[in-house]
Amino acid sequence: MAVVVVERILDAEPDFLVDNGADLIAGTIARGGGRVTAATEETTSGANRLRGELEGRIPFPVVVINDSPLKQLIENQYGIGPAVLDGFNRATNTVVAAKTFVVFGYGTCGRSLAKVLRNLGAVVTVVEIDPVRALEAAYDGMRVMHIEPALEEADGLFTVTGRPGIVRREHFPLLKDGALLGNVGHFGNEIDVAALEELAVERRELRDHVVEYLLPGGSRVRLLARGEMLNLSAANGHPIEVMDLGFALQAHSIRALARDPAAFVHGAQPVPAAINRAIGAEMLRTLSTTRLAPLPQ
Amino acid sequence: MAVVVVERILDAEPDFLVDNGADLIAGTIARGGGRVTAATEETTSGANRLRGELEGRIPFPVVVINDSPLKQLIENQYGIGPAVLDGFNRATNTVVAAKTFVVFGYGTCGRSLAKVLRNLGAVVTVVEIDPVRALEAAYDGMRVMHIEPALEEADGLFTVTGRPGIVRREHFPLLKDGALLGNVGHFGNEIDVAALEELAVERRELRDHVVEYLLPGGSRVRLLARGEMLNLSAANGHPIEVMDLGFALQAHSIRALARDPAAFVHGAQPVPAAINRAIGAEMLRTLSTTRLAPLPQ
Amino acid sequence: MAVVVVERILDAEPDFLVDNGADLIAGTIARGGGRVTAATEETTSGANRLRGELEGRIPFPVVVINDSPLKQLIENQYGIGPAVLDGFNRATNTVVAAKTFVVFGYGTCGRSLAKVLRNLGAVVTVVEIDPVRALEAAYDGMRVMHIEPALEEADGLFTVTGRPGIVRREHFPLLKDGALLGNVGHFGNEIDVAALEELAVERRELRDHVVEYLLPGGSRVRLLARGEMLNLSAANGHPIEVMDLGFALQAHSIRALARDPAAFVHGAQPVPAAINRAIGAEMLRTLSTTRLAPLPQ
Amino acid sequence: MAVVVVERILDAEPDFLVDNGADLIAGTIARGGGRVTAATEETTSGANRLRGELEGRIPFPVVVINDSPLKQLIENQYGIGPAVLDGFNRATNTVVAAKTFVVFGYGTCGRSLAKVLRNLGAVVTVVEIDPVRALEAAYDGMRVMHIEPALEEADGLFTVTGRPGIVRREHFPLLKDGALLGNVGHFGNEIDVAALEELAVERRELRDHVVEYLLPGGSRVRLLARGEMLNLSAANGHPIEVMDLGFALQAHSIRALARDPAAFVHGAQPVPAAINRAIGAEMLRTLSTTRLAPLPQ
């Protein structure tokens, strides 16, 4: 958040903060606390600040939304795969079935995407350095490979590792001609786009969100959404359900913090289990799959 | 095709016709045949004219593209479901998993859509009057129901029957509040949109391709793409592979007709089996799933 | 059927025949027809006799059960895959997930098996000489290969082609050490077991239905159920539903033949569509997936 | 383990213990420790003793095998579902597709079973009291219901909760006529078999592992494997891969304990991460899905 915005918000002397990145909380601490009695923090990177540089200095409770198991479930396990598919469809208008895809990284997000692709009729290869996760991928019906042989036979590739520099300069010439290359990781640095730009002898925009690079050897690499998060760049971003859940967690947490501040400790802490259960039950009640029957309490 | 266009084309005295709806062929017959030595016809409705009113009067061979088993496979069995999903995603930005969908009609297209939805985590109910098809739906893991109880619990509904008047005036009040209603059938008459317009006490555009109707009872129906084909209206239409296949069938057929007209009878006939085999083998060769190995000949 | 049995049955002067292989029908014709007014024939090989050597000589109607689309659906499309899985589980007690299987032949039965294996988490390679079927396999998420490279990486292989001599002497040494090899085709001649016996330097029974052959090169081939139909040899054979359906088709057909013989022509003919529809509707009524709702008529 | 057996083993003065239920470890402590320098414990119930009554009194390191994430993955997440299916197939010889199943409990084991059934074409209803797990079931495409309505429409039901008294006296009369009822939980007390025996007016053995109870109202309940674990009672028990993994974890752990006892603390502790990684990588190397490529290190 721009510093000036943070300062203007804090000038209004809020009682509660709904923060995103911990800027408001850090600013409040810098000012000595003010009237703030409690806060929520949406992001993991904000939570890292609360548990790092700000640790022990926060004079009020902060509920970290992103830690909620519901958030993991709805956003990472079920939201990511379909959202990336949506971005892929719009950018390329090509069928997923009968293609070979490589997914880099088999954490919750990579698994979500790999399963969506496989369920639509693709052959999916997973590249994953942790052997336990790689074994999970194999039991989920994915092929597991080292990066080099995986590159050679892929029609499409997605980086979902959360680490920089996964697809690098030496990898581009190994790709099959016409391969589609996209990123799902939060930061746009998993594919080395700068190296690709440098390497290419020609560059042209094929469609919205698709740039084709001609390599010296004659093969073509088609980069999706400039290597930025495909689901956010080429589609609508998070589906409604994911946004709804985030707001529900915020609202329930703020209400609990306002009603009974004494039930919370100072500093960062997870969403109370009772709130996760209440929102889970509420979401169940909205589903038609469960409409014909009374639901778990 | 506009009559004037047809006439101007025929004035150019073509040797071959690549027709779509049989207008060029009918016009040629009306003119007594001209120089035309052979033709292809893309559509089923064109084929119906060739085998109906024009039967016995066609003085050259016509290869009907849509009869090809490859067309059935790639367009209907694999193309429709993903294309409708794409339209649904763009129009609604909502998750398919955990929802109940009703698919009307379990022909090749309805089955394609039902399987895509189920594979993404939906519960799918099929309404189908033919018991053998309905049994197939049940064995594919779909619930099978009469229309009325199916309507009550659906989050989303799609008509894929090829028949008019499937979702009618008496059905709208039975829908769950907020139900999403779309059509996949070729003609935009499977949902009685006029009746819905008449019935509604309020109408508002929620998003591109989503109009919400408020019914007298207080429930809301959300109509997608005005009841026109969702995949064509709200998405990119046929994916690249489907278009490619259609053009390949046209090109191969015209070449065969030009090279050896004596191998064909006059009037409508299917794509020769050798052409289906050749294009199938060619498509296989482009797939990475098969790249590591020589392919079937 | 043994000749003496056929003769003793015909000596009883039956009015109706429920035949299996057309022996009773052929015997009746040889005797000049007797009292027989109608018959059913269960098998395709029996139907081939009726439409071949006996064509034009059958003085009563014969309904061919195996032609029914219900039979195709329930027995081939849905029955085969799970039944082979059952035999495989019992014979080997090994997990399907994370393994590579090769399925030879992508007709209805091969597809049924390939889908069951893929749905349980296997990577499935299909070997199929017809390019249109091979393309269907690719769109169903199978890898498609020529036989040699497919052999090298398979943990398990199944022949489902209906043709003799698919896995031959030259193939055994190409198999991965420990590969499991089974047959699903009706005749036990798709794997050349005699050649394998000859080739092997050692043979031992590992478990019921599993014989291990040690090849000169040191690798081991594990043959399931001696190359006979795995579902019938190592499991319970057809599941209840398949048997039920066969008997229902017989009973309904005999009743219709008895009630209104004039509605049938002499010689072989398919099950009347009304009977398929009636049995389909009856099967639907027994399913819980459809129990909460009235069913298609 | 019988006390006399424990004593005789300890009389042999072992250096290492491979325990199952913590009897050997408890006996060793009672004897003052003896020569034992380290141990492994296979089970969760043994681990509970180590972390309960024996806490602080164990004079050597004990590695708890069951805590390994590999064990969770291979045994619970992938092993249970197929093994129960195997037992179900053998006991009933009936098709899974087109049936409605109820799974009680959506922990790792319940989810494993529910997914196998759904992937084979069943409609699956989950009964689960934790709303977050119930929501996960819904997003996996399961219907979620309270127990009573779920009972009414099920063709088959499985208890997988780890708690006693799930299907009780008052539930049996609610079941659909002919419903198949089995248990997967470790203890045979999730279905109240005694109450069913008492309630029934007639009892007959239909097949191996299937007993049919006729209830006063005229409906029949078919109990599988007397309510004991279906996968162990009616099938081969754990598949080879699960047994292999358990032995590999034991062997690697004992070797590490023997080589470098100083790397371990006294008392219960998880399998070292390096061992999980090493075995995971080893298992990957045996898979054909990964054979074409070098594997993750």
Q: D144 — contact with chain B (CB < 8 Å)?
A: no
With beta carbons less than 8 A apart as the criterion, state whether B221 and B175 touch: yes
Can you tell me the distance from the alpha carbon of D220 to that of D199, in angstroms, rounded to the nearest whole number?
11
The answer to whether residues D117 and D140 touch, using CB atoms and an 8 Å cutoff, is no
Q: Is C288 on the interface with D (CB under 8 A)?
A: yes
How many domains are contained in chain B?
A: 2
Residue A297 lies in a domain: no
Return the number of other C-beta atoms located less than 10 Å from residue C9's C-beta.
Answer: 17
* Residue B256, pLDDT above cutoff 90: yes
What local confidence, expressed as pLDDT, does residue D239 receive? 87
Tell me how far apart the alpha carbons of residues B141 and C116 are, in angstroms, rounded to a whole number.
13
Give the whole-angstrom CA distance, residue C289 versus residue C295.
11
Sign of CA dihedral B108, B113, B118, B123: negative
What one-character DSSP code corresponds to residue B191?
B
For residue A289, give Cα distances in angstroms to A25, A280, A284, B158, D137: 41, 14, 9, 17, 11
- Is residue D124 located within the same domain as residue D49? no
Residue C139's Cβ-side half-sphere holds a number of Cα atoms within 13 Å equal to: 25
Q: Measured between alpha carbons, how far is B86 from B88 in angstroms, rounded to an integer?
A: 5
Put simply, the answer to whether A146 touches D294 (Cβ < 8 Å) is yes
Residues in chain C: 297
pLDDT band at residue B288, thresholds of 50, 70 and 90?
A: low
Answer for the pair B125, B154: CB distance below 8 angstroms, yes or no. Answer: yes
- Which tens digits make up the pLDDT trace of D141-166? 999 998 988 998 899 999 999 899 99
From the list A241, C182, A172, C240, the residue with the least C-alpha distance to D91 is: C240
Q: How far apart are CA B296 and CA C105, in angstroms?
A: 12
A61 to chain B, minimum CA–CA distance in Å? 33
Q: Which residues contact D53 (CB under 8 A, 6 or more apart)?
A: none
Same domain, B151 and B226: yes
Do C137 and C223 sit in the same domain of this protein? yes
Q: Which domain holds residue D258?
A: 3-67+240-290
What value does the mean pLDDT of chain C take? 92
* Ramachandran category for residue B228: left, alpha or beta (phi over 0 → left; psi -120 to 50 → alpha): beta
pLDDT in tens, A206-262: 999 999 999 999 999 999 999 999 988 887 778 888 889 999 999 999 999 999 989
Compute the distance between CA of residue D252 and CA of residue C49 in angstroms, rounded to an integer. 64
Per the DSSP assignment, residues forming a β-bridge with B204 are B212
Q: Which residues pair with D207 in a beta bridge?
A: D210
Any chain C CB within 8 A of the CB of D235?
yes
Pick from C52, C63, C56: nearest CA to C29:
C56
| Amino acid in the structure at residue A168 | R
What digits encode the pLDDT tens for the residues A266-279?
Answer: 999 999 999 999 99
Nearest to D38 by CA among D259, D276, D278: D259
Q: Are A137 and A144 in contact (CB under 8 A)?
A: yes
Angle at CA of residue B158, ends C295 and B132, nearest 5°: 35
* Mutation to test the B interface, candidates A157, A284, A288, A290, most B Cβ within 10 Å: A288
Which chain A residues are closer than 8 Å to C143 by Cβ? Answer: 123
Cβ within 8 Å of residue D132, ≥6 positions away: A69, A70, A73, A276, A277, A280
Pairing between β-strand C179-183 and β-strand C156-159 as defined by DSSP bridges: parallel
Q: Cβ–Cβ of C284/B131 closer than 8 Å?
A: yes
> Per-residue pLDDT averaged across B168-188, rounded?
94
**Would you call B34 exposed, middle or buried from its count of C-beta atoms within 10 A (0-12, 13-18, 19+)?**
middle
Of residues D152 and C221, more confidence is placed in C221
Taking residues D68-79, what's their average pLDDT? 90
> Using CA atoms, how far apart are residues C209 and B95, in angstroms rounded to an integer?
47
Q: Do D123 and B140 touch (CB under 8 A)?
A: no
Chain D partners within 8 Å of B139 (Cβ)? 97-98, 121
Please indicate if any CB of chain C lies within 8 Å of the CB of B102.
Answer: no
Residues in chain A closer than 8 A to D74 (CB atoms): 135, 139
- D275 within domain boundaries: yes
Report whether A203 contacts A226 (CB < 8 A).
Answer: no
Q: In terms of CA atoms, which chain C residue is nearest residue A115?
A: C121
pLDDT at residue A186, as a whole number: 84
Give Cβ neighbours of residue D289 (< 8 Å, ≥ 6 apart).
A138, A142, A143, A144, C98, C99, C100, C123
CB proximity C287 to D under 8 Å:
yes
The answer to whether residues A227 and A246 belong to one domain is: no
Model confidence at A127: pLDDT above 70: yes
Q: Is the pLDDT of residue B67 over 90?
A: no
Q: What is the pLDDT of residue C274?
A: 95
Same domain flag for D102 and D200: yes
The answer to the question of residue B279 being in a domain is yes
Tokens, residue C280: 């389909």
Taking Cα atoms as reference points, which of C149, C79, C140, C91 lies closest to residue C114? Answer: C140
Which chain A residues are within 8 Å of B236, Cβ to Cβ?
89-90, 93
Q: How far apart are CA D202 and CA D247, in angstroms?
A: 45
Say if residue B214 is exposed, middle or buried (CB neighbours under 10 Å; 0-12, 13-18, 19+): middle
CA-nearest of A115, A188, A98, A50 to D140 is A115
Q: Between C285 and C224, whose confidence is greater?
A: C224
Chain CA centroid to CA B160, Å: 9
Report the pLDDT value the prediction gives residue A130, as an integer from 0 to 100: 93
Q: Within an 8 Å CB–CB cutoff, is residue C143 touching chain A?
A: yes
Same domain, B124 and B170: yes
Same domain, C112 and C207: yes
Strand, helix or coil for residue A5: helix
CA within 13 Å, CB half, D84? 34
Report the residue from B92, B154, B287 with minimal CB separation from A98.
B287
> How large is the average pLDDT for residues D110-114?
97
Helix spans in chain B (H): 3-11, 23-30, 44-51, 69-71, 80-92, 108-119, 131-139, 147-152, 193-199, 230-233, 240-259, 273-286
In chain A, residues with a C-beta closer than 8 Å to the C-beta of C140 are 97, 121
Nearest 5°: phi and psi at B3? -55, -40
Choose among C232, D231, C131: nearest CA to B279: C131
Co-location of B125 and B63 in the same domain: no
Predicted confidence (pLDDT) at residue D290 exceeds the cutoff of 60: no
Is A138 within 8 Å of chain C by CB?
Answer: yes
pLDDT class for C296, splitting at 50, 70, 90? very low
Non-local CB neighbours of C44 within 8 Å, separated by 6+ positions: C66
pLDDT of residue A291: 44
- Give which of A170, A185, A154 is closest to A80, Cα–Cα: A185
Interface residue B77 vs chain C (CB under 8 A): yes
Place of tokens 């042999």: D12
Instruction: State which of D206, D233, D260 marks the end of a domain.
Output: D233
Residue B254 lies in a domain: no
Predicted confidence at residue A293, as pLDDT, reads 43
Asked whether residue C94 falls in the same domain as residue C56, the answer is no
List all residues 6 or more positions away from A121 whose beta carbon is below 8 Å from its beta carbon.
A96, A97, A98, B78, C139, C140, C141
- The predicted structure's pLDDT at residue C255: 96
Q: Is D293 on the interface with C (CB under 8 A)?
A: no
Q: Which of A59, A27, A23, A22 is nearest to A44 (CA)?
A: A22
Closest partner CB to C241 (pick from D94, D100, D235): D94
Instruction: Report how far residue C81's alpha carbon sits from residue B195's, in angstroms, rounded to the nearest whole number.
Output: 47
Closest to A211 measured CA to CA, from A185, A180, A237, A184: A180
The C-alpha atoms of residue D146 and residue B199 are separated, in whole angstroms, by 36
Cα(A231)–Cα(A184) distance, integer angstroms: 7
CA distance linking residue B99 with residue A215, whole number of Å: 45
Q: Does D296 touch chain A (CB under 8 A)?
A: yes
Q: From CA D131, how far away is CA A297, in angstroms rounded?
A: 7
CA angle, residues A96, A97, A98, in degrees to nearest 5: 120
**Statement: residue B297 has pLDDT above 70:** no
Shortest alpha-carbon distance between residue D268 and chain C (Å):
31
- Spatial neighbors of C273 by CB under 8 A, at least 6 apart, are none
Lowest mean pLDDT: which of A73-77, A292-296, D69-73?
Answer: A292-296
- Chains near B with 3+ CB pairs less than 8 A apart are A, C, D
Q: Which residue of C has its CA nearest to D123?
A: C289
Give the closest-approach CA distance of D133 to chain B in angstroms: 13
What's the maximum distance between 2 C-alpha atoms anywhere in chain A? 67
How many Å apart are CA C180 and CA C95, to the nearest integer? 12
**Are residues D97 and D77 part of one domain?**
yes
Instruction: State the nearest Cα–Cα gap between B176 and chain C, in angstroms.
Output: 17
Flag whether C106 is in a domain.
yes
CATH code (residue B7): 3.40.50.1480
Nearest to B138 among C69, C289, C294 (CB): C289
Token output for C90: 């019992």
Q: What is the pLDDT of residue C143?
A: 94
Q: Is C145 on the interface with D (CB under 8 A)?
A: no
Q: From chain B, pick out residues whose CB is under 8 angstroms from the CB of D101.
A: none
Q: Which of D70, D130, D290 sits opposite A143 (nearest CB)?
A: D290
DSSP string computed for C123-151: EEEEE-S-HHHHHHHHHTT-EE--HHHHH
Chain A residues close to D294, C-beta within 8 Å: 146, 149
- Give domain status of residue B238, yes or no: no
Residue A25 has phi, psi (to 5 degrees) of -65, -45
With CB atoms and an 8 Å threshold, state whether B140 touches D121: yes
DSSP string, B244-294: HHHHHHHHHHHHHHHH-GGGS-SEEEEPPHHHHHHHHHHHHHH-GGGTTS-
Mean pLDDT to the nearest integer, A108-135: 95
Global pTM reads 0.93
Whether C124 and chain D come into contact, CB under 8 Å, resolves to no
Q: What is the pLDDT of residue A44?
A: 83
* Distance of residue A136 Cα from the nearest chain C Cα, in angstroms: 9
In which band, very low, low, confident or very high, does the pLDDT at D289 lie, cut at 50, 70 and 90?
low
Q: Which residue has the tokens 């993404």?
A: B120
A139 touches chain C (CB under 8 A): yes
- Which pLDDT score is estimated for D291? 45
Nearest chain A residue (CA) to B237: A93
pLDDT score of B3:
80
How many residues would you count in chain B?
A: 297
- Answer yes or no: do A246 and A216 share one domain: no
Tell me the mean pLDDT in the region B79-98: 93
Q: Which of A211, A233, A255 is the last residue of a domain?
A: A233
Q: Work out how many CB contacts closer than 8 A connect B with C.
A: 123
Q: Which of A233, A256, A272 is the last residue of a domain?
A: A233
**Does residue C119 fall inside a structural domain?**
yes
Q: What is the pLDDT of residue D86?
A: 93
* pLDDT at site D1: 66
> What CATH number is attached to the domain comprising A204?
3.40.50.720
- Taking the CA of residue B131 and the nearest CA in chain A, the distance in Å comes to 24
* Size of the C and D interface in Cβ pairs below 8 Å: 100
pLDDT the model gives residue D44: 83
**Quick check: C89 contacting D, CB < 8 Å?**
yes
**B17 in contact with chain C, both atoms CB, cutoff 8 A:** no
Residues A112 and A161 in one domain: yes
Q: What band does A292 get if pLDDT is binned at 50, 70 and 90?
A: very low
Residues of B in contact with C277 (CB under 8 A): 130-132
Tell whether A287 is within 8 A of chain C (Cβ): no
User: Percentage of residues in chain B with pLDDT exceeding 90?
Assistant: 78
Asked if residue B247 belongs to a domain, the reply is no
- D239 contacts in C (CB within 8 Å)? 93-95
Average of per-residue pLDDT values in chain A: 92
